[in-house]
């Protein structure tokens, strides 16, 4: 029987729409680190006025009778991280993320009415809100950022914004020293209460170029009952290379990691469509990738 004559039966069809994640960090709200003398895991970088902070019942609250703001360090910046902020109460206040680097500052700020403001060296870009939000997701993807408003039914894309500053921060020597902080400002009588702040790698909004990781004879690599796959994760704009594992008897996928490529110029690039082999004879990993970031060419590496 010829290959084109072999019948194939579809087991399932699925779009992994932002529903696989690899955890990168969180602001833990289990202990009251605001009122402690044993170290502050999220140190204050900036405080204006006298905002009152508290942590109780896994909630972080900022409020002030006369108004004020506070900015606390979350951690280091990675150009493809997504950040999620979930709100319990939000009234007469603003909140957001501030990215600081050697080449400038980039901020995404939300207010209680659902408006969004993005500011960097190129100026201020504003996106009016249609309704208050229960939370926000800020998804960086190399040269741009996608902002989602969390609503009752589903997340709503507010904006997909490109930035020369974000593009420059794909250079390893720059993003390694960049930081991301949480900023909250309250007007007189205002309140902001968060029950989640976390960041993660996401599988994107759709996938393409799925390939199994194989041995030198073409046999798919099977480890602990799971196949490992390279998948191009598509974002609102741009893409990057994810590594998934899959249990072949079920619709069970896990995001195991991601691949980024440096062609020797120090710039991390989201090249895709990787083909990966492990040669058991030479004990080397062999990789081919579509290096679209450096022209319509193929890249090759071995380890």
In this predicted structure, the answer to whether residue 276 has a pLDDT above a threshold of 80 is yes
In this predicted structure, the answer to whether residue 131 has a pLDDT above a threshold of 80 is no
Confidence at residue 130, expressed as pLDDT on a 0 to 100 scale: 74
- pLDDT digits 0-9 by tens, 54-103: 999 999 999 987 889 999 999 999 999 999 999 999 999 999 999 999 99
Confidence at residue 64, expressed as pLDDT on a 0 to 100 scale: 83
In this predicted structure, the answer to whether residue 44 has a pLDDT above a threshold of 80 is yes
In this prediction, residue 285 has a pLDDT band, given cuts at 50, 70 and 90, of very high
Confidence at residue 39, expressed as pLDDT on a 0 to 100 scale: 83
In this predicted structure, the answer to whether residue 147 has a pLDDT above a threshold of 80 is yes
In this predicted structure, the answer to whether residue 186 has a pLDDT above a threshold of 80 is yes
- pLDDT digits 0-9 by tens, 234-267: 999 989 999 999 999 899 999 999 999 988 888 9
Between 10 and 108, the more confident residue is 108
The reported pTM is 0.93
Confidence at residue 155, expressed as pLDDT on a 0 to 100 scale: 86
What is the per-residue DSSP string for the chain?
Answer: --GGGS-----------S--EEEEEE---SS--TT-SS--SS-EEEEEE--EEEEETTEEEEEESS-EEEEEEEEE--TT-EEEEEEEEEEEEEEEEEEEETTEEEEEEEETTS-EEEEETTEEEEE--SS--SEEEEEE-SSEEEEEEE-SSS-EEEEEEE-HHHHHTTBHHHHTT-EEEEEEEEEEEEEEEEEEEEEEEE--SEEEEEEE-EETTSPBPEETTEEEEEEEEE-SS-EEEEEEEEETTTTEEEEEEEE-B--SSSB-B--EEEEEEEETTTTEEEEEEEETBTBSEEEEEE-
């Amino acid at each position: 029987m010829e290959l084109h004559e072999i019948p194939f039966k579809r087991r399932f069809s699925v779009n992994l729409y932002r529903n696989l994640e690899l955890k990168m960090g969180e602001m833990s709200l289990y202990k009251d680190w605001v009122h402690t003398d044993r170290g502050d895991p999220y140190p204050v970088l900036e405080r204006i006025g006298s905002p009152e902070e508290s942590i109780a019942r896994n909630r972080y609250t900022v409020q002030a009778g006369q108004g004020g703001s506070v900015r606390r360090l979350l951690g280091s910046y990675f150009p493809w991280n997504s950040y999620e902020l979930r709100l319990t109460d939000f009234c007469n206040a603003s909140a957001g993320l501030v990215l600081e680097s050697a080449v400038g500052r980039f901020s995404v700020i939300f207010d209680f009415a659902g408006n969004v403001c993005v500011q960097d060296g190129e100026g201020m870009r504003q996106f009016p809100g249609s309704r208050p939000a229960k939370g926000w997701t800020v998804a960086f993807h190399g040269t741009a950022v996608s902002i989602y408003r969390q609503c009752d039914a589903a997340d709503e894309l507010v904006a997909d914004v490109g930035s020369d500053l974000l593009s420059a921060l794909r250079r390893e020597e720059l993003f390694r020293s960049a930081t991301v902080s949480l900023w909250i400002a309250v007007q007189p009588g205002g309140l902001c209460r968060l029950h989640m702040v976390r960041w993660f790698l996401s599988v994107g909004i759709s996938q393409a170029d799925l390939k199994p990781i194989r041995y030198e004879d073409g046999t798919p690599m099977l480890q602990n009952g799971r196949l490992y796959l390279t998948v191009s994760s598509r974002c609102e704009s741009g893409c990057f290379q994810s590594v998934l594992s899959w249990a072949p008897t079920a619709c069970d996928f896990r995001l195991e990691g991601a691949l980024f490529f440096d062609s020797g110029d120090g710039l991390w690039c989201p090249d895709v469509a990787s083909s990966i082999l492990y040669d058991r004879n030479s004990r080397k990993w062999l990789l081919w990738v579509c290096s679209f970031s450096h022209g319509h060419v193929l890249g090759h590496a071995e380890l």
